Chains A and B, each alone.
Chain A
């Protein structure tokens, strides 16, 4: 058998393993999470400057840094401090003066924060501080934990089961996080007081569906891997339920 015959045999018959869509999704999620924890700017936070300062002189773009011991961060846990530093730095660099404080948070920035919180929440550790499908249990649970009372609509009859809630942080603000479920898909809803009135926004970021709107002095932002049409149903049911509450107080 010549080398060519052997090559043909291997090329024709040996398995070529491919990264399937689940693996690709996992990679993109972890990369999004990791990227949310590190600023994109040339000016890195203290921890990163050493790596960034060196490594530009190696041939062919290979650097020793990329090949250092892998045990350094075998399971890169999300670091909220560095994410926070990254977001704050990003805001500070991308806007000048007070302008940024007068604008609603950029969709993309909010999206990054939501994705980071969502992915972290789905990881190891408790997703929920209070586990209950009863909105009468979940809503009072926030008393004493937040300085506002978030809406907790019951959408079970529409196929959206309430799973529970927790107090979370977005940027520096304490927010209420509710988790609903439809089939295998989680919907995470982040609620915080907001004096503004925003037109409802819908967008996609890194494969997640995101929505944001304001109602009754609250900003509601949600993230899910549910498909867009079912998520829009969730939003419309939520808003209808809230509007109903506003007009006719529950008996």
Chain B
């Protein structure tokens, strides 16, 4: 029987990048993300003997997510400060839009005419960062880690329908931020009371 550390090396080490990516996107800075990843690894080690199933990645990402939220909660002092409410969400988005309000090429991103790579990266990253964590995480898991709805539902501990609705809300927010000028299909009337 392989030892725990051997199992850790074969099962969990290959997931470290995915775990760090999720932690880094949730915490939004390096040092906390590194702490969270290390905590998650130790928790994973302690519970590795209970793990079942072929794919360790969703199992590990669920632990990473849990550690990340614990960290965010400890930092914020209160769950409400996590940006889980709508007012906070709208305020963050308005701040973001003001910061992007410089005229011309900065605002709109047309995928057919890509801007300079660095500028694209900064714009997309800033938009993703400005989403509240519960929307940001589903996009990160779906688009950057390529996980399917069922896996995301397991990681986030949500029903699949909630995952899908959060994904669509997250995409709508991203669209509003990334394509305010060239988006005839963007939902109008968002600003109406």
Contacts and interface: CB of A to CB of B under 8 A. Distances in A.
A63 B47 CA distance: 8
A24 interface: yes
Given A23-B20, A61-B51, A15 B125 contact: yes
A244 B63 CA distance: 57
Contacts of A26: 34, 38
B19 A19 contact: yes
A157 to B, nearest CB: 39
B17 interface: yes
A5 to B, nearest CB: 5
- Interface SS of chain A: helix, strand, loop or mixed? helix
A27 interface: yes
Nearest to A74: B39
B128 A14 contact: yes
Interface in A37-91: 38, 40, 51-52, 55-56, 58, 60-63, 65-67, 69-71, 73-74, 76
A62 B59 contact: yes
B81 to A, nearest CB: 18
B46 A18 contact: no
Contact of A18 (B21, B109, B143): B21
Interface string A1-18: 101011111111111111
Given A23-B37, A35-B5, A60-B154, A6 B45 contact: no
A31 B42 contact: yes
B46 A14 contact: no
B42 A65 contact: no
A12 B128 CA distance: 13
**Residue among A6, A51, A206 with max Cβ neighbours from chain B (10 Å):** A6
B143 A70 contact: no
A246 to B, nearest CB: 40
A32 interface: yes
B67 A70 contact: yes
Contact of A6 (B25, B67, B175): B175
A11 B174 CA distance: 13
A11 B63 CA distance: 24
Given A30-B41, A38-B4, A38-B46, A9 B124 contact: yes
Contacts of A6: 171, 174-175, 178
Contacts of B178: 1, 6, 9
B62 A67 contact: yes
B20 A60 contact: no
B94 interface: no
Interface string B154-190: 1000000000000000010011001100110110000
Contact of B38 (A11, A14, A30, A71): A30
B3 A56 contact: no
A1 B179 contact: yes
B8 interface: yes
A214 to B, nearest CB: 28
A171 interface: no
A34 B41 CA distance: 10
B38 to A, nearest CB: 6
Interface string A170-185: 0000000000000000
B178 to A, nearest CB: 7
17 contacts: A1-B111, A14-B144, A16-B21, A17-B33, A19-B17, A19-B19, A23-B34, A23-B38, A30-B42, A35-B45, A40-B4, A51-B47, A60-B52, A61-B52, A70-B39, A73-B42, A206-B5
Q: Can you list the 9 inter-chain pairs with the closest CB atoms, starting with the nearest?
A: A61-B52, A17-B24, A66-B47, A19-B20, A13-B124, A70-B70, A19-B16, A61-B53, A10-B143
Interface of B: 3-5, 8, 13, 16-17, 19-21, 24-25, 33-34, 37-39, 41-47, 49-53, 58-59, 62-63, 66-67, 70-71, 109, 111, 117, 120-121, 123-125, 128, 139-140, 143-144, 154, 171, 174-175, 178-179, 182-183, 185-186
